[in-house]
Amino acid sequence: MLTYTVRRIFSLIPVLIGMTLIVFAIIHAIPGNPAQVILGQRATKESIAELTRQLGLDQPWYIQYFDYIKALLHGDLGVSLRTRGPINEEIWPYLIATIELTLVAIVIAIIIGVNAGIISAWFSKSWFDYAAMVFALIGVSMPIFWLGLMGQWLFSIELGWLPTTGRENVRDPVASITNIYLFDTLIQGRFDQFKVVLQHLILPSAALATIPMAIIARMTRATMLEVMKSDYIRTARAKGLRMFWVVYKHSLKNAIIPVLTVIGLQTGLLLGGAILTETIFGWPGIGIYLYDAIGYRDYPVIQSGILVIAAIFVLINLVVDLLYVLIDPRIKYSK
């Protein structure tokens, strides 16, 4: 197990290096000069040339790339071309904001999706089964931006239950400790702020959870139906065990591996695909940070942001692989 883990960690290195090379090549193929964007349309050619030289953009692309890799090896993500601030410090609050939104969304998706799939398999071909699968199909097909706008219209404008945008009450900002506002408010004993932060989280996280919730529900139903036909399930029921324990203790444990794979993939996708949700709800996440960087041709920010997301994605998949062994002892990583 330890050997497998170490080998997997080392195998991530060429993946991340390949990712940096691909992203670097694509970004530098985008037309436009960052110096021109920073200085504005009225800038002179001399000032643009001088800023280009100061930013190191006059160097060949391979020198810029190796300078970037050299900085990465020292734990330095570089300096933003637009703000001239260190990316290590700038990216952290945005990344944590997206992680908080993603975790709440995936928890909602797991709780509702897994249980909906289980009940659909338990009462297969019932009205609940058909209704749940129809809603799952709608959830997969429904654009997140439309669902977000409809949620704002209904729960914010018409009913006035939830805030429309933002992450906190701007008149009473959260004193940031970990940048995970739910934790920060609890640590400081500010339960009034905790309620406000939670209210700001409900709409964006619910909108973001829609697609993974539907996918998890369909996968759970499919795997549960297959497992519940097994001989050991029929034996458990013949022994007189309550159906609840047969389903949740015996069936779910053996059906959860494919579902866990889907959960891991969806969690990684949510981290990188939350930009629409963040834009609609004014959520200060890494999606907005990268979107602004693209507009300013801020190459180091774009490269670093994508690299961080890619690293988290592959780490999530590593954790999922390791969880297989804990859930199902029959799986062994001997090599």
Does position 329 have pLDDT exceeding 70, yes or no? no
Question: In the structure, what pLDDT confidence band is assigned to residue 333 with cuts at 50, 70 and 90?
Answer: low
- Asked if 281 and 201 touch (Cβ cutoff 8 Å), the reply is no
* Surface-to-core class of residue 329, CB atoms within 10 Å of its CB (0-12 exposed, 13-18 middle, 19+ buried): exposed
Does position 334 have pLDDT exceeding 60, yes or no? no
Residue, of 219 and 58, whose pLDDT is higher: 219
- Asked if 189 and 175 touch (Cβ cutoff 8 Å), the reply is no
Q: CA-to-CA distance for 251 and 114, rounded, in angstroms? A: 13
Question: In the structure, what pLDDT confidence band is assigned to residue 177 with cuts at 50, 70 and 90?
Answer: confident
- Asked if 275 and 240 touch (Cβ cutoff 8 Å), the reply is no
Does position 138 have pLDDT exceeding 70, yes or no? yes
* Mean local confidence (pLDDT), 214-237: 82
Residue, of 335 and 329, whose pLDDT is higher: 329
Per residue in 114-125, pLDDT (tens digit) is 888 888 888 888
pLDDT of residue 37: 66
Closest CA to 309 of 16, 2, 39: 16
pLDDT of residue 328: 66
Does position 154 have pLDDT exceeding 60, yes or no? yes
Q: Does domain 93-327 have CATH number 1.10.3720.10?
A: yes
Tracing tokens 């690293």 back to the chain, one arrives at 311
Tracing tokens 């729960």 back to the chain, one arrives at 155
- Asked if 224 and 260 touch (Cβ cutoff 8 Å), the reply is no
Per residue in 258-312, pLDDT (tens digit) is 888 888 888 887 876 677 788 888 888 888 888 888 877 777 888 888 888 888 8
290-323: b (≥16 Cβ within 10 Å) or e: beebeebbbbbbbbbbbbbbbebbbebbbebbeb
pLDDT of residue 19: 79
Does position 41 have pLDDT exceeding 80, yes or no? no
Question: In the structure, what pLDDT confidence band is assigned to residue 71 with cuts at 50, 70 and 90?
Answer: confident
* Mean local confidence (pLDDT), 131-136: 84
pLDDT of residue 107: 92
pLDDT of residue 108: 92
Residue, of 211 and 269, whose pLDDT is higher: 211
Least confident among 166-170, 227-231, 287-291: 227-231
- Asked if 88 and 77 touch (Cβ cutoff 8 Å), the reply is yes
SS3 298: coil
What string of DSSP letters covers 154-186?
IIIIIS--S-SS-SS-TTS----SSS-HHHHHH
Q: What amino acid occupies position 177? A: I
CB atoms within 10 A of CB 13: 9
Percentage of the residues of the chain whose pLDDT score is greater than 70: 91
pLDDT of residue 330: 64
CA 97 to centroid of chain Cα atoms: 11
Q: CA-to-CA distance for 36 and 307, rounded, in angstroms? A: 26
What string of DSSP letters covers 72-91?
HHTT---B-TTT-SBHHHHH
